[in-house]
Amino acid sequence: MSLHLHQLKSFHGRKGPLLLIIMDGIGIGKADESNAVFKARTPNLDQLFKSDLYTQLKAHGTAVGLPSDDDMGNSEVGHNAMGAGRIFDQGARLVNKALKTGGIFQTEVWDHITGRAQNGGTIHFIGLLSDGNVHSHIEQLFIMIDKCAELNFKKVKIHPLLDGRDVGERTALDYVIPTEEKLKKISDKKGFDYAIASGGGRMKVTMDRYNSDWNIVKRGWEAHVRGEGRMFASASEAVKTFYAEDPKATDQYLPSFVVINSAGNPVGPIKDGDAVIFFNFRGDRAIEISRAFSEKDFKEFDRGELPDIFYAGMMEYDGDAHIPPNFLVQPPAIDRVISEYLCAEKVKTFAVSETQKFGHVTYFWNGNRSGYIDEALEKYVEIPSDRIEFDKAPQMKASEITAEVIKLLKSGHYRFGRTNFPNGDMVGHTGMTEAAVIAVETVDQCVGELLTAVKDIGGIAVITSDHGNADEMFSIDKKGAKSVKTAHSLNPVPFIIYDPGYQNEYRMADLKGKGLSNIAATLLNLLGYEKPEDYDPSLIEMAAAGKS
């Protein structure tokens, strides 16, 4: 299919550029104290929400390619949908399909894993142990464990990363204990050696992203591979001890642990002859540990001698860099993203965010593709994130992002730009409501500064989000007990067009089931182009003749 775009007959955009502002983790929630967006002083957003060019979009579940509407959205699938202009089966849905059909066990990669087991090697599973369904799902792990038992793999070790982010902040035992029980049952029944070997909180152990802090990966390597770390008789004992030592400790920040046997030796370090499966399906926090296991010329930290192991990811986490080389489930083939069309039309664009979301406005936006589509036409700017717990500095790098975007807008070199403010999501994940309020207020102030710049240069801005988070910081049960919420919400997200030159050339379309995948066609319309035929409908329709 041709990447050529057709001009709209009745609208050709404005003289200034179009800017897409993604307020990560800012959704539309209840008007009460649990909603940091509601609590925050947001004069700019308050005014925008009164606009005739305002609507709400669905940003979770089937609207972003996930299995059901009980599944929360996330930044990965959200940016995929925004950049692709249509919905692709994503993460959990792809893996569920492969497990249901058994296709995951009929691949050359699984044959290699089987070979390792048949030759006496241990099969290791590393990944996020929860049912959050953002990075992984415990039921998917259990199906693979059962398959190992069915195939008489004698030694299986699990290295769980504790969540507390996409699920309740102190729910680790809800997943660790059933896993321990399952592994013991298999071991007792078949005389196998199935056990939890090591683990730790996801924000402290293994699951770093965007090269933010390689020490996180190093801690995981030392625990999983070398069996080095604080030692306990079981994973559940480790969690209970950490809770007792710090009543305010949350799962995502728990330190690493190693499980030992009665002789005081680690029960499952990764050794020569073993196979390792990283069972997360989402890519951003899986790439670095995959590099550590699969790169021969690895320099990020001293990992010692690389064991002779076979490593596989649940999916290919980076399609361009082919990380990892071996994976179990094919990722969605996302083609013809909006950036490809714009590059084909020689439209100059930019993308800006800080480290925490830089990959989202580049890699995920471009359909899980690393690097530039056309470096001569695109400029990507990454502003390094601070290495600090986000509730301690909720402003993050919003001011620096804003300054960079304004500079690029006023340069006159670009017709379209996109930026992501991570504050609502990253601070929302901490569960600290007052910090989240500051985060939202910071974003609101920066949005106001950007809108002033857009107005000054005769452009248009689109303001939206990829999913909710700060809009639901806690819940209250029927007995009045407050439960902190660190996961994404299922709430809709705002979508506003800020167009100072608006003269009723277009209006909001009356669409059913509006979601993030409708944004790409809308952006193309605002740039003066018709949407590609198979893109999901635009959120606007032209008042005069002309296709949208």
Contact indicator for 129, 161 with CB cutoff of 8 Å: yes
- From CA 271, how far away is CA 260, in angstroms rounded? 16
Q: Could you tell me which of 72, 68, 15 has the C-alpha nearest to residue 467?
A: 72
Please list the pLDDT of the chain residue by residue as tens digits (548 residues).
579 999 999 999 999 999 999 999 999 999 999 999 999 999 999 999 999 999 999 999 999 998 888 888 999 999 999 999 999 988 888 999 999 999 999 999 999 999 999 999 999 999 999 999 989 999 999 999 999 999 999 999 999 999 999 999 999 999 999 999 999 999 999 999 999 999 999 999 999 987 889 999 999 999 999 999 999 999 999 999 999 999 999 999 999 999 999 999 999 999 999 999 999 998 889 999 999 999 999 999 999 989 999 999 999 887 657 899 999 998 778 999 999 999 999 999 999 999 999 999 999 999 989 899 999 999 999 999 999 999 999 999 999 999 999 999 999 999 999 999 999 999 999 999 999 999 999 999 999 999 999 999 999 999 999 999 999 999 887 788 888 988 899 999 999 999 999 999 999 999 999 999 999 999 999 999 999 999 999 999 998 644 44
Active-site pick, 75, 256, 339, 489:
75
3-state secondary structure of 438: helix
- From CA 182, how far away is CA 197, in angstroms rounded? 14
- Element (DSSP H or E) covering residue 128: strand 123-128
- From CA 489, how far away is CA 467, in angstroms rounded? 7
DSSP letter for 254, please: P
DSSP letter for 493, please: E
Contact indicator for 111, 119 with CB cutoff of 8 Å: no
Q: Could you tell me which of 169, 74, 154, 76 has the C-alpha nearest to residue 122?
A: 154
- From CA 262, how far away is CA 196, in angstroms rounded? 15
- From CA 9, how far away is CA 517, in angstroms rounded? 24
Token output for 507: 């209006």
**pTM score:** 0.78
- From CA 182, how far away is CA 192, in angstroms rounded? 12
| DSSP-H helix ranges across 256-370 | 287-294, 338-344, 355-359
Contact indicator for 325, 243 with CB cutoff of 8 Å: no
Whether 75 is catalytic: yes
Please give, one letter per residue, the 3-state secondary structure of 501-542.
CCCCCEEECCCCCCEHHHHHHHHHHHCCECCCCCCCCCCEEE
Domains and CATH numbers, the chain: 18-89+333-542 (3.40.720.10), 92-329 (3.40.1450.10)
Q: Name, in order, each residue with C-beta under 8 angstroms of 355's C-beta and a sequence gap of 6 or more.
A: 210, 211, 212, 382, 383, 384, 385
Question: Prior bond to 324 cis, omega within 30?
Answer: yes
The distance between the two most distant Cα atoms of the chain, rounded to a whole number of Å, is 80
Q: Could you tell me which of 105, 177, 172, 118 has the C-alpha nearest to residue 145?
A: 105
- From CA 456, how far away is CA 374, in angstroms rounded? 29
